[in-house]
Amino acid sequence: MRFAGDVKAPWPLALPLMIMATAAQARDSLGVFEAWGAFRDPTPSQSGGPRCYAIAMPVAAGSEGFAAVGSWPRQSVRGQVHFRLSRMRMGDAAVILNVGDRRFTLVAGQVDAWAPDARADAAIIAAMRSATSMSVQTRDARGRGFADTYALRGAATAIDAAALGCARLR
């Protein structure tokens, strides 16, 4: 996500800008909790109806990646972890998520990564609730290693707010 005129916006200013940009697409803001925001889009969408999600940007200023935990109640999907990588991934490079002392191998496309199944989603969210940071590591299209790091202060509250925001949208 680029910020108007300055992709190197300082981190304290970056979150409010990201939240405003996301809010323009989402119908309801459920709150901002430290480094994380929670949103609800109750209108049907191409992704299968109403959705709610918690979202954050990497700590590094100017990064275009994000981490999100989403729910699509009409599809019975809750707590799905999704990462948009800040760079295009090398085709065969593994994508590893480190949350505190836990390590998870993710399933990935060129710029997106997910947990391999609902059980892994739940384990990742549980680890997020007790850690202070997480990082997604892989190699970019040129073969250089990189990591997107996220602060987890506010993540649990934002995840809970998003889950509650969609609790009645079945």
pLDDT at 16: 44
pLDDT digits (tens, 9 = 90+) for 7-33: 333 334 344 444 444 444 547 899 999
Domain boundaries along the sequence of the chain: 11-165
Residues 67, 60 contacting (CB under 8 angstroms): no
In this prediction, residue 45 has a pLDDT band, given cuts at 50, 70 and 90, of low
pLDDT at 23: 44
The pTM for the full model equals 0.81
pLDDT at 47: 56
| CATH number attached to the domain at 11-165 | 2.60.40.1880
**How many angstroms separate the first and last alpha carbons of the chain?**
30
